[in-house]
Amino acid sequence: MTYRAPVADIAFTLKHGAGLSATLARGGELGADDVDAVLQEAGRFATDIIAPLNAIGDRHGTPFKNGEVTTPPGWKEAYRAWFMGGWNAVSAPVQWGGQGLPHAVNAACIEMWNSASMAFGIGPVLTMGAVEALAAYGAEDLKRAYLPKLASGEWMGTMQLTEPQAGSDVGALRTRAERAGDGSYRITGQKIFITYGEHDLTDNIIHFVLARLPDAPPGNKGISLFLVPKFLLNADGSLGKRNDARAHSIEHKMGIHASPTCTMVYGDQGGAIGYLVGEENRGLNVMFTMMNLARLAVGLQGVAIAERATQHALAYARERKQGRAAGSGAVSSAIIEHPDVKRMLLTMRALTRAARTICYATAGAIDSGDNGRASLLTPVAKAFSTDIGVEVASLGIQVHGGMGFIEETGAAQHYRDARIASIYEGTNGIQAVDLVMRKLPLSGGETVRSYIGELRGTVQAVQAANDPAFGATGARLLDAVECLERATTWLLGKIESEPQAALAGATPYLRLFGNAAGGCMLADEALAALRLAEGEPAARIGIARFFAENIAAQASGLERAVTEGADSVNGADAALAG
Amino acid sequence: MTYRAPVADIAFTLKHGAGLSATLARGGELGADDVDAVLQEAGRFATDIIAPLNAIGDRHGTPFKNGEVTTPPGWKEAYRAWFMGGWNAVSAPVQWGGQGLPHAVNAACIEMWNSASMAFGIGPVLTMGAVEALAAYGAEDLKRAYLPKLASGEWMGTMQLTEPQAGSDVGALRTRAERAGDGSYRITGQKIFITYGEHDLTDNIIHFVLARLPDAPPGNKGISLFLVPKFLLNADGSLGKRNDARAHSIEHKMGIHASPTCTMVYGDQGGAIGYLVGEENRGLNVMFTMMNLARLAVGLQGVAIAERATQHALAYARERKQGRAAGSGAVSSAIIEHPDVKRMLLTMRALTRAARTICYATAGAIDSGDNGRASLLTPVAKAFSTDIGVEVASLGIQVHGGMGFIEETGAAQHYRDARIASIYEGTNGIQAVDLVMRKLPLSGGETVRSYIGELRGTVQAVQAANDPAFGATGARLLDAVECLERATTWLLGKIESEPQAALAGATPYLRLFGNAAGGCMLADEALAALRLAEGEPAARIGIARFFAENIAAQASGLERAVTEGADSVNGADAALAG
């Protein structure tokens, strides 16, 4: 079973879930047909060229020898075809050779690359982030030298924060940068967990490295960002000397085997030459530009792997015959006919679609310049989507029964691959803390309150539609939104006065947020489909209803965990002793 | 990080959660000290001898060549020491060389073997099931020939149901058995997914194979069970001719790499010699003896892997420093001090302990001859425990952050290993269907109602204790038990009239059952600890409270999914099209 890009669903969600139809209606050069054409082509490329490499990548991994990484058979050719097709540059600035399309369209493409292969898709995500950061903060000569080839994808970028003692706590990093006197810097230190830190896909690799100047203040406010190319450039832009930046080893991981995860060493031979991006000691600000995009992209990986696992399981459930479904005349029924299997498949599809809409809507908020909304939704997009990515991949195994545990089937690879996305680019716990401690207080709470107000609008629309096909959708979504509102108010009251209590509820709050928002978004799309008589209204109502009655229905338990569970967390030291 | 058997907690749970203290109080040969001594020794063996083999087993797997399986280095010696120590025979009948100890004590031991290594622990589970079945149903001469060496573990047993077209639907199997005229049978056919179907741990392997006689009725009522030894026995009991039963290949699995999963071929050279166990065409009854024990044992695997993952994550969280916890004076805090990490660890510990008690209580019901209770709890023990095994192993990875995804850390192995337990010995969906369709109706619903009545008793006891340390435990458990009761009543009303509706709610119902029962059991143990001033009362209250306020609190959402979600499942064909 391979992957087939669900282009029609993606296009519908983009237009009616991520607000792209409003953007298109405002006019401008981009038409709905253009978007459809881009999605069609991206879907074809993902399906035909990338997807077949996924299992090959898992089996081969990326052998490491003498400091060099060999990517799996076929990967180099596929990457070349991919960037030559313009896919790295979908939303890159036109000025630097990009297509300047909306981030939402690129988000849809990122989903498809990652459904086809997470290990393939994660590399470009970092390049795209590097392009954004460099375009926004880089000095003019640095941009001229590096941006065109990064934007096109002819060179790939990396994002280097983590060190052994500095994971979630970036401020603890120790890599040093010294001023060389000629405007450049000399970098020494070690970075770990560097995705695509070394590989043979491109002639040059441009590292974006966080480091600390000798006179930098401690902590987050003493971090600077440097562009450190693998090969230095000659005056004419051609590749010059090898820089003093090397991969020391690669990790042996549970999944995404074809994505080389490197330990990088800088300055073994005196110091790697690096160029400052942005201002000294303000590197984290620049890195956040990369990181926010990367977080959304990792959320899209969650959607992507969930979509692929769902397709895989659906195909198996339609084909595999076992037992006789109640009321069936057949000797043996396809397992999709058994209600318990149906429940699993519906859970998979409903969670996937909810996460997709949340992610696309986040990209849509970026496109419309609604920074508050984008900031609010980014941690939800990242954590909710990657959590459900794991859940859906696990259900995918379950639908396969014993076959799911056999590697040849492929369901296990999705499950192994999916697991990293809840961890990298800020663990989902960090996302939840970010949501509660930094995003809820935005504009004095107005950002989140106005969002919840919109969700209420959807609930009212469902209730007003008064369509029996929606079942209890309106009632369950109302419950969920009210639970979310109460939990939000409770948290806003604790952030200053009792931060420990707010922190203890962060993870269930984020899930509650995702369930309420996702449920409303699915209902919204169902109403749009009904109104427009397109996008399979019956199917969308069915998904929205299933989500509301079975998933959004968890809201009150999650609210309680937030507002009532904190003492049991913070007072439980005895329970964790021994 | 290796495993340390939590003997004190296990002993406390056995006595106060599984009713062993009542058994011991009734007198008899077995004293509390004897039980403690057995558990101590088992804990030592699991910790010292088996646990170090776990990672070795994962790396080496079980190479297959010319029909033979080689177990990983050290496994043969460990298995020999294990059965020589009497561990296979803990609850085997005294008549056949067993120790005749309660099943609950053996359950505790099984947990420890499997925490040490799931791939090691699963083999003996099948031998023990074979011993039960043969002791209960075998002809006298068959017992004399095979039971002593199966009971001791000198020979291992296998359990062979599955065929390519007959997985969950055992009745569809096609392996044939023909009467040989001399009282024996000739078996021909193929079995798949046979755990320890071939290996080098023991000189002989005794296969218990389901097959169909030429004149058998179709379906479940035409299945017979045969004992098929790898090596036939000479008249003096010594090993004779190789039987016509061979492993054809082994599977390449995501986890439990050291447990060889074989495709078996019978009758390549004319037919394997087999001996009937029980009556012709009544093989499923006999197999159910093996299967019920195996289901409980697989539930214990869920507990086991959850326990090991929890220990692993706790050790890491105490050691790893990152960020500064609010209110801490340190420059950087151990991550266990961060509330979100604490929540993960508490979830792990609370789910593990709840599942442990459910499993031990199931074994306790077997020991006390309460067949209704044992039947009711078996699917819950199997499915709830293995589901939480996966969840806890996943949280274990999350606590480790990026390190969790690196294979060397070991957290990933738990996650990979854990996943099979939700599938084999009847998928968890099959367990949920069994609970709803076959177990709820036992004694006209009285079995489940009286159990819920007991849970209510616990709730009342918590409320009567009126100890503020319990927080909202009483209120949340009351909610949970009432949700369970309403969902039970609803299901009992649907099983006959609308089986599709009952089936659609089976999985959330089982989880609701596990949450309510587990929550009450933890509270019960906390009350016992308080009463007896032993077993760390403060820790137990903390765990019980956390479970009630954060996990049992999900009850209303689960109740809704059962009683309100069925239409959205059964009417959602459009949503699963395309």
pLDDT of residue A1: 63
Nearest to B340 among A416, A419, A429 (CB): A429
0.90 surpassed by complex ipTM? yes
Q: Which residues contact A346 (CB under 8 A, 6 or more apart)?
A: A542, A543, A546, A550, B568, B569, B572, B575, B576
pLDDT of residue B29: 84
List the pLDDT tens digit at each of the 578 positions of chain B: 689 999 999 999 999 988 898 888 887 888 999 999 999 999 999 999 999 999 999 999 999 999 999 999 999 999 999 999 999 999 999 999 999 999 999 999 999 999 999 999 999 999 999 999 999 999 999 999 999 999 999 999 999 999 999 998 999 999 999 999 999 999 999 999 999 999 999 999 999 999 999 999 999 999 999 999 999 999 999 999 999 999 999 999 999 999 999 999 999 999 999 999 999 999 999 998 888 999 999 999 999 999 999 999 999 999 999 998 877 777 889 999 999 999 999 999 999 999 999 999 999 999 999 999 999 999 999 999 999 999 999 999 999 999 999 999 999 999 999 999 999 999 999 999 999 999 999 999 999 999 999 999 999 999 999 999 999 999 999 999 999 999 999 999 999 999 999 999 999 999 999 999 999 999 999 999 999 999 999 999 999 999 999 999 999 999 999 999 999 999 988 999 87
Return d(Cα A573, Cα B40) in angstroms, integer. Answer: 26
Return d(Cα B431, Cα A191) in angstroms, integer. Answer: 47
The token pair that represents A403 in the structure block: 């076959």
DSSP letters along B292-347, please? Answer: HHHHHHHHHHHHHHHHHHHHHHHHHHHH-B-S--TT--SSS-BGGGSHHHHHHHHH
CA A536 to the chain's CA centroid: 27
Return d(Cα A418, Cα B376) in angstroms, integer. Answer: 35
Nearest to B550 among A323, A402, A568 (CB): A568
B459 touches chain A (CB under 8 A): no
DSSP letters along B78-100, please? Answer: HHHHHHHTTGGGTTS-GGGT---
Asked if A142 contacts A40 with a C-beta cutoff of 8 angstroms, the reply is no
Domains contained in chain A, CATH given:
7-152 (1.10.540.10), 156-286 (2.40.110.20), 436-570 (no CATH)
Question: Which residue type occupies A488?
Answer: T
B496 touches chain A (CB under 8 A): no
For B295-319, give one letter per residue: b (16+ CB within 10 A) or e. bbbbbbbbbbbbbbbbbbbbebbee
**Binary contact (B394, A252; C-beta < 8 A):** no
pLDDT of residue A29: 84
B196 touches chain A (CB under 8 A): no
A338 touches chain B (CB under 8 A): yes
Nearest to A346 among B543, B575, B578 (CB): B575
pLDDT of residue B330: 75
First to last CA, chain B: 47
Which of A168, A342, A431, A522 to mutate against chain B (most B CBs within 10 Å)?
A: A342
**Within 13 Å, how many C-alpha atoms sit on residue B416's CB side?**
31
The torsion angles phi and psi of B61, rounded to 5 degrees, stand at 60, -160
The torsion angles phi and psi of B436, rounded to 5 degrees, stand at -75, -50
- The number of beta carbons lying within 10 Å of the beta carbon of residue A31 is 11
Q: Which residues of B touch A340 (CB under 8 A)?
A: 429, 432-433, 503-504, 506-507
**Binary contact (B549, A564; C-beta < 8 A):** yes
pLDDT of residue B346: 98
pLDDT of residue B1: 62
B566 touches chain A (CB under 8 A): yes
Q: Which residues of A touch B408 (CB under 8 A)?
A: 252
What are the beta bridge partners of residue A436? Answer: none
CA B439 to the chain's CA centroid: 18
Q: Which residues of chain A have pLDDT under 70?
A: 1
Asked if A424 contacts A193 with a C-beta cutoff of 8 angstroms, the reply is yes
Q: Which residues contact B565 (CB under 8 A, 6 or more apart)?
A: A343, A546, A549, A550, A553, B504, B505, B508
**Binary contact (A169, B322; C-beta < 8 A):** yes
**Within 13 Å, how many C-alpha atoms sit on residue B560's CB side?**
23
